[in-house]
Amino acid sequence: METTEGPDETESKAKTEAEVEVEATTEAEVETKTKTEAKVKTVSVPAMSLVLLVGVSGSGKSTLARKLFAPTQVISSDFCRGLVSDDENDQSATPDAFDVLRYIVSTRLRRGLLTVVDATNVQYEARKELVSLAKSHDVLVDAIVLDVPEQVAIERNELRPDRDFGKQVIFRQAKDLRRSMRRIDREGFRRVHVLRGADEVEAAELVLERAWNDRRELTGPFDIVGDVHGCRAELEELLCSLGWELERDSRGRAVGARHPLGRTALFVGDLVDRGPDTPGVLRLVMGMVAAGTALCVAGNHEQKLVRALKGRKVRVAHGLAESLEQLAAEEPEFGAAAEAFMDGLVSHYRLDGGKLVIAHAGLKEAYHGRASGRVRAFALYGDTTGETDEYGLPVRYPWADEYRGRAMVVYGHTPTPEPEWVNNTICLDTGCVFGGKLTALRYPERELVSVPAAQVWYEPAKPLAAAKPRRRDPAVLDIGDVAGTRWLETRHGGRVKIMEENAAAALEVMSRFAVDPRWLVYLPPTMAPPQTSNREGYLEHPDEAFGEFLAAGVTEVVCEEKHMGSRAVAVLARTPEVAAARFGVDDGSAGVVYTRTGRPFFADNGELVDRLRIDLAPLFEELGSDWMVLDCELLPWSAKAEGLIRSQYASVGAAARAALPEVLNVLEAAAGRGLPVQEFAGAARRRLDNAVRFRDAYARYCWPVEGLSGVRLAPFQILACEGRAPAITEPHSWHLDLLSRVRSELIAPTRHLVVSPASEESRAAAVEWWTELTESGGEGMVVKPMSYTPGRVQPGVKVRGREYLRIIYGPDYTESLDTLRVRFLGRKRSLALREYALGLEALSRLAEGEPLWRVHEPVFGVLALESEPVDPRL
Amino acid sequence: MLLTISTTHTPATDLGFLLHKHPDRVQEFAQSYGTARLFYPEASPDRCTVALMLDVDPVRLVRSRGKSSPDFALSQFVNDRPYAASSLLAVAMADVFRTARAGRCTARPELAANGIPLEIVLPALPCRGGPELAHRFFEPLGWDTEATAVPLDEGFPEWGESRYVRLRLRGEMRLADAINHLYVLLPVLDDAKHYWVAPDEVDKLIKAGGSWLAAHPERALITRRYLDRRWTLTRAALSRLAELGDDVEEELEAVPEAEVEELAAAAENTEPQNSEEEPVRVPLAKLRRNAVLATLENLGARTVIDLGCGSGRLLGELLAKPVFTKVAGSDVSAHALTLAARRLRLDRMPDAKRARLEIFQSSLTYTDPRFAGYDAAVLVEVIEHVDPPRLAAVERVVFGTAKPRHVIVTTPNVEHNVRYENLTGLRHPDHRFEWTRAEFAAWCAGVCERYGYRVAFEPVGEDDPEVGPPTQMGVFTVDGDD
């Protein structure tokens, strides 16, 4: 087997520029080499690439493809012809079939999948189109040529009844192939693998080459270092402050470093130029890379320095002169090693299972793990617009503003005074050589560590301060963040699907009624009741709740009194300045209180927020955070829901109490005439009694509110604060204890009881508590596992009282309990779990300081799920 | 729910013949949502009363409907239907009194053909519009009407009156007419029907109201309410969200105000004597569209996107002019887009015209690549529906990201509000603000400064020398690269 190589576009620059001998393939050879010894031939293709099989009909392409690749990786033209015509050999369907083929190939390549095209591909035009398709997705493309004698192909085709085309077709294809072989290596393939003869085809074996940039198996932890630019002393200091131990040679020069905790260093390029000791930096980093304690990507300065060292014509500017001078003073062996090292640097790495990408100038998501000239250019130089600014420096397109990828992208290249997170990307170049500082990012801790420059080593073309980072506008969300059918990945509940029509309904509510999305950092999940009780007179009872958690292996639950008010989420910042810095809200407000659908509680939230900030001030101290998000119930119910209570509940009560006495009158009159209506009169009397109870049930939760007087807030969980989400990490007892210490007229306590579901005694006490609570007018209680419990365990179930349920099931529900017991809980329970997962995801993202759109995504998801049809009585 | 009909005709027990129901029996009639029972609480020669009592089973009322029905909402479970006189009662009545309603009575034909003294009582009649509307509906028909409002809750007197009235009608009336009056007017007063409004409703209305409705002074309102109410899936979803937020669904559903203006105009046009002296007033919404169209033509825009297109009136007018080669409309309300599709007859639009039109749901607070690439964007009466803190996001989306060469923005001029006699507060319940000319100018200037546009102002409607025009329009232009 011969392997010919075209201009390589793998990551290695050495390879890119390597001149590879192309073995001539002559027609004579094609014809004469019909019999060779069957040897095991290895075909080596990149793990993410497009592979074209090239060969006449009957050369064995499909058989080879079946042997070497997975069925889903192979797209054959015959198959596509069948898809569009129900006849794999209908040549008139070929143009449409290729449309389908291109679409499938394109989609697979976009998704980064190895793809094999099984078509004859003997004509230049056919190959050219597929090669350019691969390039447009920045993946490498290989060809495997199956060069079998025409006679073999003809014989094979004759054995197949569905292939009724004549020999001349094979001859024509073979002629095309022979013509192709003359210059196929110059068509843009990374490699052209030629299998000669049927035996070699049969014996071929596949090897997948991992991409140079694919180091996903390395999971860290990492210390990622920004642009060093020859500042050796600062680099040594930074590494030491990160806990690295330097290794020095006999002359005291740092030649390597090792971290006692086994951390790996990552350098984002631009080690060289401008600074005082480029060779010293290279020596240290080369030592670390050789020892496997560091990885380094290429920067534009390495690229240019290599060209200069190779004697290419380059403009000596931007600190190149210093490097050349310093390197000239070193031993020639070091110079050669440094050149080879820099020449071999790849342009970006994917690490930690794809969750981290480093590249010198950053990299947009579509380019992660890809290989092409433009990917390398982007990684080295960034997304330049071609314009220059007033200092003569290239204007860069703000790709990070639009970045929506899952992977964290860490880069350098553009000096800024302070590193700033933009959509899960961060630039670590803090201009050390210009007198700024040298910065490292600890991953996964997301912690920044820096050391100041010893001095200004090099005067910047534009002052460092002028290089103010462009403030991203935190208010901007994109329709693509929320619209359409979407699958959201959550760390605590897997993947959650959002249906398009639910997203559409949520878009309207979110846009028209919700509070500013910068404040809307969480929406509470819905809560399911327990399995329906069969107890006489009851629809819901605590026994079922305890039974459920016992079965799920929960050893301790907390029963919290359910306040009958409106669910409220309070986001509070210590000061308006904190609100501006942390939430990007710059209108002077310092918090918000909103409903479970994200609407503001009162037309003017200011007074409530201010009172809460004062009364809850000790919590800021306690939590060590300047802001917090609380899950609460706002009382009375009528404060927010008066419109609903009046139009729905009070109306029903009014109609009932207007109609039923007259019904009773006419029935009694009829009974007085001797008509047999006693039964109906009895029923009417009962219904009148139910109507009165119904009225009492809602009236209990209504009282007049004047401004804030009369309003009470019952917080029961601290959802998130700086750097953490206690909703996930802390048990309910921690929350309730902390909150119970708040002394304030505005704050209502939440009575609760800790129960172990396995203990008969403990359960009985809880049932008694619940009965007392509900008989004296309480709504009921919520039973929750004490601590966050993974798996499909409900985060809480509500057990509602008998009288309260009249508000939900209607005044007369107690008359038809048997019918009502048939209720379908599955949907509600599944919804509760999905919304809970999204809620926790929002809190995690918020606590970790992820960008607005990342927090907004799951919050929006909760609102969308809430519009799913579920029995609203559950 | 209960309906009683009494007569003092002598002998009063003839009521039994007229109704074809014997006064000494208790009869039951199965209905789709419960059971109707008929009996006579009194039956003497001087006075006879029939009671029709409908026991509604609310569980059955709900179970009988699909999950996508709007009624799959809590309001359908805690429901006034078991107590109030609604369309359910009207239907039950029409069924039980079928023969009487047709005016047929073989035993007492002259009684069926003539008026007799009648008294009808409905203890809890939902009456949207209050007792006054009941008077307006029944009095022109010859009823002595007594409508007493039922209080909402004695414990909360500040809540005022409920939507129910106790209705008593008295008069000399043909029994058949009385039944037909109730059949049409009960659901109209309730302004809600328990069944889908299908095309055959028109036939039913004509059959029941044919003889008296045509001359009724309120026939426009009666007809509109009777045939009103249609639901879509999105509205169902919206109503569920409303309930979750402890809101009332109507509050969420904002009818585009142009729609309201035009509905009102349509109602006026049905008035028989449209006074000839009054000059024909062009509605303000129409003036606005004219102004926008004229401006777009002057600017030479060929491709236009209507941001916040509502039910698509402007889109229709843009499409009618071939000079606009590409027309797009977007709105945050999926319901509005459904109305637009219906108004524009999307399903029947010729391909060539359809190819010029793009219509999609979107929100002005989210950047959207579909907004880009038009010569001009128009925001007609849109910004005043945006909360002031969100305006910056809208600016960024429209002027910063979509960045069309021209942007036309119209918004009410609040100074002009003093010219509206009956207006209290803002012009539409969903308006988050209304600006003076100075406030609008200041906002426009800020936008120009931030995004490099320049702006010119045009009045829309009569430019009052003192308070300015009813609508103000800003025409923004940015100078592009080409």
Mean pLDDT of A105-122: 94
CA pair distance A218, A216, nearest whole angstrom: 5
Are B469 and B416 in contact by the 8 Å Cβ rule? The answer is yes
Higher pLDDT, B61 or A486: A486
Sorting pLDDT into bands at 50, 70 and 90, what band is B209? confident
Q: DSSP string covering A378-446, please?
A: HHHH-SEEEEE-TTSPEEE--HHHH---SSEEEE-SS--SS--EETTEEE----GGGTSEEEEEEETTT
Give mean pLDDT, residues A439-461.
Answer: 90
Give percent of chain A above pLDDT 90.
Answer: 60
DSSP B95-150: HHTHHHHTT--SSSHHHHHS-EEEEEEEEEEE-TT-HHHHHHHHGGGT-EEEEEEE
pLDDT classification of A388: cutoffs 50, 70, 90: low
Interface test with A, best of B166, B364, B365, B397 (most A CBs within 10 A): B365
Q: Do residue A644 and residue B247 have CB atoms under 8 angstroms apart?
A: yes
Residue B252 binned pLDDT confidence (cut-offs 50, 70, 90): very low
Asked whether the beta carbons of residue A655 and residue B126 sit closer than 8 angstroms, the reply is yes
Fill in the DSSP letter of residue A358: E
Residue-wise pLDDT for B140-180, tens only, equals: 999 999 999 999 998 888 888 988 999 999 999 999 999 99
Please determine, for residue B372, whether its predicted confidence score (pLDDT) is greater than 70.
Answer: yes
Rounded to whole angstroms, the Cα distance separating A354 from A358 reads: 11
Residue A187's contacts (CB-CB under 8 Å, 6 or more residues apart) are A6, A124, A127, A128, A131
B42, B240, B248: residue with CB nearest A644: B248
Considering all CA atoms of chain B, what is the largest pairwise distance in Å, rounded to the nearest integer? 95
Name the more confident of B283 and B328.
B328
Order of strands, edge to edge, in the sheet holding A591-594? A591-594, A566-573, A627-635, A712-721
- Average confidence (pLDDT) over B290-296: 96
CB contact under 8 A, A650 and B153: yes
Q: Is the sign of the CA dihedral A327, A333, A336, A339 positive or negative?
A: negative
Q: What percent of chain B has pLDDT over 90?
A: 48
Question: CB under 8 Å, gap of 24 or more: what pairs does B103-110 form?
Answer: B103/B174, B103/B175, B103/B176, B105/B17, B105/B18, B105/B20, B107/B17, B108/B14, B108/B17, B108/B18
Work out the average pLDDT over B220-245: 56
In this structure, are residues A11 and A51 in contact, taking their beta carbons and an 8 Å threshold?
Answer: no
Handedness of CA B97, B102, B104, B110 (dihedral sign): positive
Are the Cβ atoms of A658 and B166 closer than 8 angstroms? yes
Give the mean pLDDT of A200-207: 90
Q: Which of A281-290, A571-580, B74-83, B378-387 has the lowest mean pLDDT?
A: B74-83
Provide the 8-state DSSP code for A787.
Answer: S
Chain A residues within an 8 Å CB radius of B308? none
What is the C-alpha end-to-end distance of chain B, expressed in Å? 73
Domains, chain B: 2-233 (3.30.1610.20), 284-477 (3.40.50.150)
Q: Cβ B41–A658 below 8 Å, yes or no? A: no
C-beta atoms of A650 and B236 within 8 A: no
pLDDT bucket at B247, cuts 50 / 70 / 90: low
3-state secondary structure of B156: coil
Helix intervals (H) in A579-703: 606-615, 617-623, 637-644, 651-672, 678-699
Which amino acid type is present at position A583? F
Tell me the pLDDT band of A22, cut-offs 50, 70 and 90.
very low
Distance separating alpha carbons of residues B430 and B333, to the nearest angstrom: 13
**Whether B244 and A596 lie within 8 Å, measured CB to CB:** yes
State the nearest Cα–Cα gap between A350 and chain B, in angstroms: 29
Q: Which residue has the higher pLDDT, A848 or B145?
A: B145
For residue A493, the model assigns a pLDDT of 87
Record: contact B237-A695, CB cut-off 8 A = no
The answer to whether the CB atoms of A666 and B53 lie below 8 A apart is yes
Which of the residues A423, A471, A478, A479 would you substitute to probe the B interface, choosing the one with the greatest number of B C-beta atoms within 10 Å? A479
> What is the separation of C-alpha A76 from the centre of its chain, rounded to a whole number of angstroms?
34
How far apart CA B353 and CA B24 sit, in angstroms, is 70
Per-residue pLDDT, averaged over A705-709, amounts to 81
Q: Residue B77: its chain A contacts at CB < 8 A?
A: 808-810, 872-873
Assign B460 a pLDDT band (cuts: 50, 70, 90): very high
Nearest to A670 among B41, B83, B158 (CB): B41
CA dist B311 and B341 (Å) reads 8
Instruction: Examine the pLDDT at B187 and tell me if it is beyond 90.
Output: no
* Rounded (to 5) percent helix, strand, coil in chain B: 40, 25, 35
Question: pLDDT tens for residues A499-519?
Answer: 888 899 899 989 988 999 999
Estimate to the nearest angstrom the gap between the alpha carbon of B100 and the chain centroid: 33
Confidence of residue B276 (pLDDT cuts 50, 70, 90): very low
Residue A395 neighbours by CB under 8 Å, 6+ apart: A384, A385, A386, A387, A388, A389
> Which chain B residues have a beta carbon less than 8 Å from that of A504?
234, 334, 361
- Cross-chain Cβ contact B42/A597 below 8 Å: no
The first and second tokens of residue B325, run together, are 């080669």
Surface-to-core class of residue A391, CB atoms within 10 Å of its CB (0-12 exposed, 13-18 middle, 19+ buried): exposed
Nearest-CA distance A62 → chain B (Å): 42
Task: Tally helices (H) and strands (E) across chain B.
Answer: 18, 15
Contact between A54 and A219 (Cβ < 8 Å): no
Q: Classify residue B119 by burial, with Cβ atoms within 10 Å: 0-12, 13-18, 19+.
A: middle
Is it the case that residue A140 has pLDDT exceeding 60?
yes
Cβ atoms of A227 and A235 within 8 Å: the answer is no
- The pLDDT score that the predictor gives to residue A391 is 64
Q: Tell whether the torsion through CA atoms of B245, B247, B253 and B257 is positive or negative.
A: negative
B166 contact residues in A (CB cutoff 8 A): 658
Asked if A702's CB is within 8 angstroms of B43's CB, the reply is no
Please write the tens of the pLDDT for every residue from B90-144: 888 988 998 888 888 888 888 888 899 999 999 999 888 889 999 999 999 999 9
The identity of residue A436, as a single letter, is G
pLDDT at B192: 61
Name every chain B residue with its beta carbon within 8 A of the beta carbon of A697: none
The shortest CB-CB distance from B26 to any of A501, A660, A675 is to A675
pLDDT given for residue A819 in this prediction:
81
| C-alpha torsion angle, residues A535, A541, A544, A547 (rounded to 10) | -110
CB contacts of B366 in chain A (<8 Å) are 477-479, 481-483, 507, 511
Is there a contact between B334 and A504 if contact means CB atoms under 8 Å apart?
yes
pLDDT digits 0-9 by tens, A513-551: 899 999 999 999 999 999 999 998 899 999 999 999 999
Place of tokens 């008694």: A768
Confidence (pLDDT) at A464: 63
What ipTM does the predicted assembly reach?
A: 0.77
Q: Is A156 on the interface with B (CB under 8 A)?
A: no
Are A566 and B246 in contact (CB < 8 Å)? yes
Higher pLDDT, A12 or B464: B464
B363 → chain A, closest CA residue: A511
The mean pLDDT value of chain A amounts to 88
In three-state secondary structure terms, B29 is strand
pLDDT band for position A7 (cuts 50, 70, 90) = very low
Q: Taking residues A680-701, report their average pLDDT.
A: 90
What residues are paired with A489 via a beta bridge?
A495
Task: Give the whole-angstrom CA distance, residue B385 versus residue B11.
Answer: 65
User: What residues pair up with A559 in beta bridges, in sequence order?
Assistant: A753, A783
pLDDT of residue A387: 65
A663 touches B at CB < 8 Å = yes
Contact B241 A867 (CB under 8 A): yes
Strand residues in A311-390 grouped as ranges (E): 348-351, 356-359, 384-388
**A61-80 pLDDT tens trace:** 999 999 999 999 999 999 99
Report the range of poorest mean pLDDT among A615-629, A633-647, B428-442. Answer: A633-647
Pairing of strands A222-225, A264-267: parallel
Q: Rounded to whole angstroms, how far apart are CA atoms A717 and A423? A: 29
| Distance from C-alpha of A57 to C-alpha of A91, rounded to nearest angstrom | 13
Say whether A808 and B74 touch across the interface (CB within 8 A).
yes
Tell me what pLDDT residue A771 has. 94
Q: Which of residues 574-613 of A touch B (CB under 8 A)?
A: 585, 587, 595-597, 599
Q: Is the pLDDT of residue A17 over 70?
A: no
Which residues of chain B lie closer than 8 angstroms to A872, CB-CB?
72-74, 77, 240, 243
Closest CA to B472 of B206, B288, B305: B288
> Could A677 and B334 be called an inter-chain contact, meaning their C-beta atoms sit closer than 8 Å?
no
